[in-house]
Amino acid sequence: MSEAVQILDARANNRDTLKKLLVITLLMFGFGFALVPFYKKICEVTGVNNLDGSGTPTTANTQVDLTRKVTVEFDANANHLAWQFKPMTRGLAIHPGELTTVMYQVTNTMDHAVTGQAIPSYAPKESAAYFKKLECFCFTQQTLQAHETKMFPVVFVIDTKLYKGIETITLSYTFFDVAGTGTVRAPS
Amino acid sequence: MSAVLPGHAHDDHADAHGHDDHHHGPPAGFMRWVTTTNHKDIGTLYLWFSFAMFLTGGMLALTIRAELFKPGLQIVNPEFFNQLTTMHGIIMVFGAIMPAFVGFANWQIPLMIGAPDMAFARMNNWSFWLLVPAASLLIISFFVPGGATAAGWTMYAPLSSQMGIGQDLAIFALHIMGASSIMGSINIITTILNMRAPGMTLMKMPMFCWTWLITSYMLIAVMPVLAGAITMTLTDRHFGTSFFNAAGGGDPVMYQHIFWFFGHPEVYIMILPAFGIVSQIIPAFARKPLFGYASMVYATSSIAILSFIVWAHHMFTTGMPAAGQLFFMYATMLIAVPTGVKVFNWIATMWKGSMTFETPMLFAIGFIFVFTMGGFTGLILAVTPIDIQLQDTYYVVAHFHYVLVAGSLFAMFAGVYYWLPKWTGHMYDEFLGKLHFWCSVVFFNLTFFPMHFLGLAGMPRRIPDYAAQFADFNAVASIGAFCFGLSQLIFLAAVIKCVKGGPKAADKPWEGAEGLEWTVPSPAPYHTFETPPQVK
């Protein structure tokens, strides 16, 4: 009899071990999935997955030419377009290489939406190649709703290679009517 | 005494215990192998299965080497080449090395600890037979539209998210093989913990049992993590999840972290049982007990524990913080300490021993020599700045073939020659064995040593074509590979010859061998240790 009891004991013993090991197996399967939120958290804390660069300061421009200043004048026109368009700054004296932001204001005086496109021009014209715009409303067409007012930034740098002789640059924008719906009619 | 057994205990397991007189050998025919619950039968099945997979994976490797014999595209197109490298890796790791070690465990662990069989004999049968459908899925995947998976054996996202149905078949195959490994491990742990003969304390166990006990714990800790990773890949592919899909807010690099959390312990899973086999063989042929037995046990455990905290050394180029790179670099180098303890213990065991050099000993010494070279290149690759240079070059290919072929495979050859007399009752042909060893060790080095130079010169791995300056070393490696492949037919011949006949083997054919397995007759009877032996 004792022999049989021993065998049954041994089997119960083995089943106990089996159950414990199965629990470890299941826990480790869950652990694999628990690594997902854990990984996200680690990346957040250490900042390793910050691919869009948010939160990191913009790198300072180390190539500013501090030996001279250039005066930049801002001009704004609308060509047969019932828009009020003006720079918020008339003029600035800046170092070449210095990152600068200025604002322009545009108001649509018509009773319907109008689409316009701004075209820049430079004086003297040689300065155009050295006037680097990083952001400008002139890159795309702009649509303003009836009586809407918008502020647009222009971010630019003047290349440090600009000729020494040029001390003043005039940047002039002209807005053109794209669809022909915003034209100011000549008074009859 | 059998009369008092309760009726429901009349299965093979209880059977193996009681009825000595009307006892019988196995039933004849094919069904013997399908229905067997005998640890020796199952061990044999595992070993033949893994040898068949070894030849299959070897054929893939030779196709790769044939293509790489000279620059340009000769034999296969690049898509199929990628399938070859992928399937070679998967088949060798999951089909050949891992099941072969389970085969050794099945044959030897009950014999070594004086147990009548494995703890769960029917589960044992199931864990073997699961491997057959898994292997079939892998082979079938070559013939489905798009072919087998070509994402590499690591199956990194996003490649694995974009492959055809061959990837699904590989995922299912790995799920099944993982389940088989987990069941095998549970069986081995339970057998070792609960079924040792009276007097066989844990610290008296043969090293092979120790290494397998630790390996089994590693398997049940990491195989489920792999199952999780490939399940995530599967749901990314078919059920709209975005674990690894950046467009949906996931991260493909996370796959690498989860995979290598499995993958690095996995490489020790493939080498610790090899350490165990070598630790049995060196003392037998040096005719001295194993030097530093306790330190061997602790070294094995340390390797196992450290292997869980080094995984990101496979990913130094993914953009880790410097602190992370330093941590994983130092942790990886730390593994050299317990591994060094083991190598020095083997050498100390041989020191002033009365050594003879039969085939098992040749393979064991060959293992120490060539595996240590692989260990050194591993240490070099652990250095982060060097690794960034060598990432995904042939240097890495050389490194892991030195530890997996010259490490795991040579140890298994050593083990087969060592225990073949016990398994078959015949001595193998010593000439064939020695021929097999010398051919293997020479052609192995001819194949893989030039790969170090190729890698240092910048040849990337997993490419079907290469720049002309790599041509000479590649030609040498290809010649070596074909000779190495053919050398394995000597092994097949030696084993078949030994199974069919040969000089009668003594119960203890090796003068210096120790352990319970040598106390049973040769060949080992179908049932052994029905009455547990007493260990002093």
Residues A91 and A164 in one domain: yes
Whole-angstrom distance, CA of residue B300 vs CA of residue B303: 5
Select from A31, A59, A87 the last residue of a domain.
A59
Residues A55 and A6 in one domain: yes
Residues A158 and A96 in one domain: yes
Q: What is the pLDDT of residues B156-197, one digit of tens each?
A: 999 999 899 999 999 999 999 999 999 999 999 999 999 999
| CA dihedral sign of residues B114, B119, B122, B125 | negative
Domain-embedded: residue A90? yes
pLDDT higher than 80, residue A52: no
Residues A84 and A128 in one domain: yes
Of B220, B222, B257, the CB nearest to A21: B220
Per-residue pLDDT band at A185 (split at 50, 70, 90): low
State residue A60's pLDDT score.
52
Measure in Å the smallest separation between the Cα of B259 and chain A Cα atoms.
9
Tell whether ipTM is more than 0.90. no
Can you give the pTM of this predicted structure?
Answer: 0.79
State residue B2's pLDDT score.
38
Per-residue tokens: B243: 């674990």
CB contact under 8 Å between B257 and A1, yes or no, is no
Residue A16 belongs to domain spanning:
1-59
CB A71 within 8 A of CB A167: yes
State residue B4's pLDDT score.
37
B54-73 burial, b at 16+ Cβ within 10 Å, e below that, comes to bebbbebbbbbbebbbeeee
pLDDT higher than 70, residue B221: yes
Residues A7 and A82 in one domain: no
Q: What is the pLDDT of residues A5-51, one digit of tens each?
A: 777 788 889 999 999 999 999 999 999 999 999 998 888 887 776 55
Residues A75 and A154 in one domain: yes
Of B189, B223, B251, the CB nearest to A49: B251
Q: What is the pLDDT of residues A77-129, one digit of tens each?
A: 988 888 999 999 999 999 998 889 999 999 998 888 888 889 898 988 888 88
pLDDT higher than 60, residue B3: no
Residues A149 and A81 in one domain: yes
Residues A118 and A50 in one domain: no
Provide Rg for chain B, Cα atoms: 23
pLDDT higher than 90, residue B14: no
Domain-embedded: residue A187? no
Kindly state the average pLDDT of the residues B213-233. 97
pLDDT higher than 70, residue B1: no
Q: How far is CA B217 from CA A19, B188, B463, in A?
A: 14, 10, 36
Number of domains in chain A: 2
pLDDT higher than 60, residue B17: no
Residues A31 and A92 in one domain: no
Residues A128 and A41 in one domain: no
Residues A21 and A93 in one domain: no
Of all residues in chain B, the percent with pLDDT exceeding 70 is: 95
Q: What is the pLDDT of residues B300-312, one digit of tens each?
A: 999 999 999 999 9
Mean pLDDT of chain B: 93
Domain-embedded: residue A33? yes
Per-residue pLDDT band at B262 (split at 50, 70, 90): very high
Domain-embedded: residue A40? yes
> In B, which residues are within 8 Å of A21 by CB distance?
185-186, 189-190, 220
Contacts of B162 (CB under 8 A, 6+ apart): none
Catalytic residue among B50, B85, B181, B215: B181
State residue A11's pLDDT score.
87
State residue B78's pLDDT score.
95
State residue A61's pLDDT score.
57
Residue A92, domain CATH: 2.60.370.10
Select from A59, A78, A95 the last residue of a domain.
A59
Query: Looking up tokens 């018509």, which residue turns up?
Result: A110
Residues A128 and A160 in one domain: yes
B136 included as an active-site residue? no
Whole-angstrom distance, CA of residue B288 vs CA of residue B62: 41
State residue A32's pLDDT score.
95
